[in-house]
Structure formats: structure tokens, C-alpha cells
Structure 1
Amino acid sequence: MGALAYGLSKAAFKHIESEIYYYEDTLKEINRLKKEIMFDKGPVDESGVRSPEVGRPTERIATRLLTHKRLRNLEEITEAIQSAYSALSMDHQKVIHAKYWSKKRLSWDDVAIQCNMHRNTAMKLRKDVVNLIAEKIGWK
């Protein structure tokens, strides 16, 4: 059964898998963007001089954090991964760690061996994980 049998296109399935692989990097990028937004001192004019922004800096920072599209997208995917992960069984979590978050890039056969299960079971758990994340981000 392919990804389409679960209501997701192959491309969407692969995209979500990619997000799981790079989850830790995405968390780092979120922190970097937040710091960049929080410590931005305002716009720079043509001469390179910062023009002071009038108003409440805390509100201005909060607004920028909430309206930054890239930041919101990254947060949405990491929140979906976190939420799905916490709702999953120990077997699902073992598969996620072995396949996506291990320093070694294991084949599905190796994941199955490491998780003490049949390869088909590992592949089914993979589909469960990806589909749960897809539901949480509204792709399904």
C-alpha cells in the first residue's frame, strides 16, 4: 500500500518525513529567528543609520514574532511533530529515533532489527507517524 492509500500524496509523505529528519535543525532555526526578531533594533535607512522606532518595544517584538510567516510555519511543523510523538506508542517512538533521529542513517531492515520487529511492522509504524503529523498540520 502506498502513501496515496492513506490519503497523502507521495510528495507530501516525503516532505513530512524530511521534516522529521531535520526536526532538531528546525528547532535551532526557530531559536535563531526568534533571537533575530527580538534583538532587531529597527529599520536602517539608506545611509546605514538606524531610525529609532517609536512605540512600545515589547508589543512590537510580540507582533513581529506572531506575524513572521517562516517562523510560524516552522513552529507549526515542530509542534505537530512534538504532539504526534507524545501521543505515539513506545514502538512508534523507537522507530522514529532509530530511523530519523539517530546519528546513523539506517535502512528499514536495520531499523526493524534495532527495534526488534519485522520490517513490515516498522514500515506500518512509519506510515502511522507521517499520517498523524499530516492530520495535525491539516494536510489530511
Structure 2
Amino acid sequence: MNKIEHSNFKLIEAELYGYNDTKKELELMEEEILEGSAFQEVCVQSGTTGDTTANKAIKMISSKAILECERRIKAIEKTLVILQQDETKLRMLQMKYFERKFTDTGIMNELHIGNNTFYRWRREIVKLVGSYLGWRV
């Protein structure tokens, strides 16, 4: 694995660890737009007065921060859908990245899998998320 691939691997793992926080962050950004916030106003005119509903819609679809959060969330959610075909791999992902109650060894013991299987599955999961993000891993 070269330096770029290794760096991407670590970034993707960070995204997996932060998945629930990213979802909360996205919800907050969307709420801020809907409730009127510090996001820069985009003025849409319909007739002589500004259309606040259209302004909010434009902000929701044009915010780079929102688009990036959605992209990362979708990549992980697509991976979760794929992993539903293998309950043990899905459970491993949940235990390692979402629940974070167990060490790697604890996860191996709970799932009755070996060291090589654990780390192979970890690489597969990270590569799958990376493929949906368009990153080399």
C-alpha cells in the first residue's frame, strides 16, 4: 500500500468512526437553513418579493458542506446495504466503528473469527466505502 492509499485508508476509517456525528452535523446544517441561519442568503425573486421557500431550497442543494456530508453518508450507507448479505461482517463494522465497546481482539472473540479474517474484512469494508467515495485504497 503506497502513502496515498494508506492515508485514504485512515481517512475512510475516520469517516466510519464519525458516521453518526456526520449524520448529526448534516441534520444541524439543514435545520439552520430551514430555521434561518448564518448561511449566506441566496436571493430568489418571484415577482417583487423574495421567495423564502425557494431561497431555503437553493441553500439546501447548493451548500458544499451539506453536499459533502451527504456524499460521505451515502458511501457508508451503500456499504451497510451490501454488508446486509453477510451478518457477521455487518456486525463487525457496527462493533468496530459505531459501538466502539470492544477492542479488535474483543470483536474477534465475540464474532468467533480469527485475526486474519478480522483484518481482511476490515480492509474489504474500508475499500468498499472508498470505492463509493471514488478514493484509491
The TM-score range, normalised by the shorter chain, is 0.7 to 0.9
2:71 maps to a residue whose letter is E
Partner of 1:132: 128
- 1:55-106 Cα offsets, whole Å, 9 max, x none, are 22221111101111111111110111011111112121011111111142x3
For residue 19 of structure 1, what is the aligned residue in structure 2?
Answer: 15
Matched, 1:35 2:28: no
TM-score with structure 2 setting the length: 0.83
* TM-score, normalising length: structure 1: 0.81
Q: Structure 2: state its 5+ residue gaps.
A: none
Higher relative CO (Cα under 8 Å, sequence separation at least 6) belongs to 2
Q: When you count helix as a share of all residues, which structure comes out higher?
A: 2
Q: Secondary structure at the match of 1:66?
A: helix
Cα contact 2:32–2:38 (8 A) shared by 1: no
1:42, CA displacement in angstroms?
8.0
Which ranges of 4 or more aligned residues in structure 1 deviate by more than 3 Å?
41-44
Q: Alpha-carbon deviation of 1:22? A: 1.1
Provide the aligned C-alpha RMSD in A.
2.3
2:99 is matched with 102
The offset of 1:41, in angstroms, is 6.2
